[in-house]
Structure 1
Amino acid sequence: MTPLQQLRAPRKPLRLLNLAVGIVVLGAGVGLFVRAGLGLSPWDVLHQGLSRLLPISFGTVIVLLGLLILLLWIPLRQWPGLGTLVNTFAVGPIADLTITLLPPIHGLAWQAGAMALATVLAAVGTTVYIGAQFGGGPRDGLMTGLHFRTGLSVRAIRTIMELTALAVGWLLGGVVGLGTVVFALSIGPLCQLFFRWTVVDVERRR
């Protein structure tokens, strides 16, 4: 859908609620994953690697890479929308707030539990806000665009994206840990699973 069609589509109150809840859950998952202390997610490994290579900050890399990825939407005929804007500007602050509020996590068992919960939260948040059909963030929009254009499953597309970001980030000097591998291999299958229940049917009028 175009941005105007997204705003005009039915079931708007539910979709706006899902957008807000999904972004909050996603941001909380990102922050909890950092607090788990078992490695960065694949995309953050790439962000860190690029920030070490270039004379710019970690946060600036995230913004600039996101804008570059949005250019890849053009041949995929992906439309940005409200969800794209909210994802771009809200996930980071929510993650920062989560990191600030949560105390450091100690002990391997607690860290592993936090890592597992954070991965599930990231997958649930991603599918809930995308399922609201207001458009996805740069990376999630690339995932869905490739899914529709190639016919490959969401699981396969997301896993390929995560592994590619991980490999490039590692080569650039980004820090890799156990959590990085777990996230890279599980986020795709989890997203495909949760999409079964999180996409709002805009054909329904009530």
Structure 2
Amino acid sequence: MFLSIKNIPNVSWSSRKPLNLKPKFSTFFFLCFGLTLFGLGEGLLIVSFAGASPWSVLAQGISLNVNLSIGIITILISIAVLIFWIPLNQKPGIGTILNAIIIGLMIDICIKYVPTPENYIYQILLATVAVLIVGFGGGIYLVANLGAGPRDGLMVGLQKKTNLPIAAVRGSLEITVMSIGWYLGGTVGVGTLLFAFGIGPAVALGLFIVGKSFN
């Protein structure tokens, strides 16, 4: 079962090490493709108007209690998460940098070109599809092994330390972050709950599909 998967699969186009400045074309392609899907999913979640992601709820909650914008808080949270990488022995790579760039671009494209559904049921459906796309995109780019984004690197590092299934680790992270953000005053919607409880299984499913497809 994909819910029990504990390791990032190693396939023919996976990089041998995260810090690889000259990866194979196929490795770089799948990294960018996965990040594009990841960003598309994040953008669709925002466009759905069904609720922000748990980390955005955390940033909103903190911003309500300190005199800083949500954008600045988001950057500070990313820096704090990267600091946690040190005891977890996680290593950055070009994927860590491209994570922010590609995902940011895809979010902007979605906001500009994808309309928000007028029907609430369609908004929920769009949010559900968004979570699945984020999970599948995450599975592809993590298998490339060229460095994870801050949150995904934290997930991988914690999984290695605890030896728990990836779905459980990611789910616990998102639910904890969402709960703290909500307690601090952040707004939680149905989309937030879908992301918090669904992203762990979605990422695990993405990793499972990629691992089976290329082995």
TM-score by length of 2: 0.86
Q: Partner residue of 2:115?
A: 103
**Which residue does the alignment assign to 2:77?**
65
**Could you tell me how far 1:138 is from its partner in structure 2?**
0.4
RMSD value over aligned CA atoms?
2.1
Matches within 5 A, 1:41-190: 41-190=53-202
Report 1:3-22 matches (<5 A).
3-4=18-19, 6-7=20-21, 12-22=24-34
Give SS of 2:64's match.
helix
* Counterpart residue type for residue 129 of structure 2: L
CA contact (8 A) 1:128 1:199 kept: no
Instruction: Give the secondary-structure state (helix, strand or coil) at the position aligned to 1:59.
Output: helix
Over residues 85-117 of structure 1, what are the superposed CA-to-partner deviations in whole Å (9 max), with x where a residue is unaligned? 111233123212211111222102211221111
Which position in structure 1 is the counterpart of 2:3? none
Do the aligned residues in 2 keep the contact of 1:42 with 1:162 (CA within 8 Å)?
Answer: yes
**Cα contact 1:19–1:130 (8 A) shared by 2:** yes
Aligned length: 200
The structural deviation recorded for 1:158 is 0.3
How much does 1:54 deviate?
Answer: 2.2
Q: Is the 8 A contact 1:133 1:199 kept in 2?
A: no
In the aligned structure 2, how far is the partner of 1:26 from the partner of 1:127?
Answer: 9
TM-score, structure 1 length as denominator? 0.90
SS of residue paired to 1:53? coil
- Structure 2 residue runs without a partner (length 5+): 1-15
Amino acid at match of 1:109: I
Q: Deviations over 1:47-70 (max 9, x none)?
A: 111222222222221111111100
- Asked if the contact 1:155–1:189 (Cα under 8 Å) also holds between the matched residues in 2, the reply is yes
Summarize deviations over 1:19-55 as a string: whole Å, max 9, x none: 1111111111111101111111111111111222222
- Deviation >4 Å, runs of 4+: none
